[in-house]
Structures are given as C-alpha cells and as structure tokens.
Amino acid sequence: MSALKRECKGTPMRLSINQSAAVQWKNGGGTTHELGQRVEAGELIWRLSLANIEKDGPFSIFPGLCRIHTIVAGQGLCLSGDGNTLLVKPFQPVSFDGGLKLEAQLADGPCRAFNVIFDPRRVQATAHLHTTGTMTVDVGEHALFVLAGEMDLGAAGCFSKFQGLVLNGPATGEISDGGVVLHICFAQT
C-alpha cells in the first residue's frame, strides 16, 4: 500500500512527514516527501509535499498547474528564468505558474519547502500563516500543517512539527506558544 494518502470526502486526511518516504529528485538536487493528494476521475486536483532542496539547480516543471512554495527551514532561495525572478524567504508563501522553467539558487545552504501543486481549472489555493493562539477556519476544504510548535484541534487531534491534516468544514483550535501553522484554503472554481 502506498504511503501517499488520498482524501475521502468528509473524512479528515492526516499528514505527516513520518508516514512518507523521501523520494530522490531526478536531477539529484534534493528529495521530496509526498504528504497527500486529491485526485478525481484520474486527474490531480492538488498535491501537498515537503521538499529538501540540497543544491542549486533546475526546479521541477508542472505544465498547466499552479504552485505555492513556502520555505519552512533554511534561508530560502531565488528562482529565476522565463523572464521571472522570485525571492522565496522563510515563512512567506509564494505563488507562481508551475509551468515556468526556473533555476533555483540557494540563499545560504540547503532549505526545506512545503509545496502545494494544484490544477487552477478545478480549484484555487491560497496560503497564509497562523501563529500562537486561537485559530479558526471556515467552511470548505483546508489543509493545516504545523511548521513550529503544536496545534490542538480538539476531537480532530493534536499535531506537532511537520504534521497536519486536510479537512472539509470549519474547525477551531489552539496553537502553542511560538507555534506556526501553514493554512492552505482550497476553493472550487
């Protein structure tokens, strides 16, 4: 059975770096832990992953898809190519066309990034951070992923660093002191 999870409508999908083996990139520049995905009628709607970027080099291309890239460890990187330059700094989600041919240049050594890859014809995705205190998410499909500290969602569970869940519906929880949670909101198009 694959460690990659697919969501069942209405059932929260747990995400954890510990439940996914690292897969080496074809170009040898890093590894990726695929955390979860939603597929309908054989087509990718979205995919969530955590990547270790170990050296400068070409970025993976995903034609027809969009991408949100958030540095969660390390100093970040610069993505350039196709007439674009994107500075990706820690804890600042950056959205871009997944079909761009980009080269990554690390800012100061290896880094780790949380990636959302999604089909903009089927869904729109946005990302923002929640910090220490009470967190509330609205109705709809959401991914919550702990980047630091802990998140307590009551009956849905407690989550520590590099763990989280995808849920359909509202939720309220507490984030520990010094905690940071990445919140991805998916909206049907």
Q: What is the pLDDT of residue 29?
A: 80
Average pLDDT on 89-118 reads: 96
In this structure, are residues 34 and 49 in contact, taking their beta carbons and an 8 Å threshold?
yes
Average pLDDT on 46-70 reads: 94
> In the chain, at which residue ranges do the beta strands (DSSP E only) sit?
5-6, 13-16, 23-24, 30-40, 43-53, 57-58, 66-73, 77-81, 84-88, 94-97, 103-106, 111-118, 123-137, 141-148, 151-152, 158-159, 163-168, 171-188
Higher pLDDT, 29 or 157: 157
Q: What rounded mean pLDDT belongs to the chain?
A: 91
Dist CA 1 CA 15 (whole Å): 16
CA angle at residue 140 from 139 to 142, to 5 degrees?
110
Label residue 10 by pLDDT band (50, 70, 90). Answer: low
- Going by C-alpha positions, the residue among 76, 81, 93, 77 that lies closest to residue 130 is 93
And the tokens for 79? Answer: 């993505």
Label residue 13 by pLDDT band (50, 70, 90). Answer: very high
- pLDDT by residue (tens digit) across 112-170? 999 999 999 999 999 999 999 999 998 899 999 999 999 999 988 999 999 999 999 89
In sequence order, what are the residues at sequence separation of 6 or more whose Cβ sits closer than 8 angstroms to the Cβ of residue 185? 125, 126, 127, 137, 140, 141, 142
Q: What is the pLDDT of residue 128?
A: 95
Label residue 51 by pLDDT band (50, 70, 90). Answer: very high
CA 103 to chain CA mean position, Å: 20
Q: What is the pLDDT of residue 20?
A: 83
153-157's contacts with Cβ under 8 Å and 24+ in sequence apart are 156/12, 157/14
- How large a percentage of the chain has pLDDT more than 70? 95
Q: What is the pLDDT of residue 21?
A: 84
Q: What is the pLDDT of residue 8?
A: 42
In this structure, are residues 145 and 163 in contact, taking their beta carbons and an 8 Å threshold?
yes
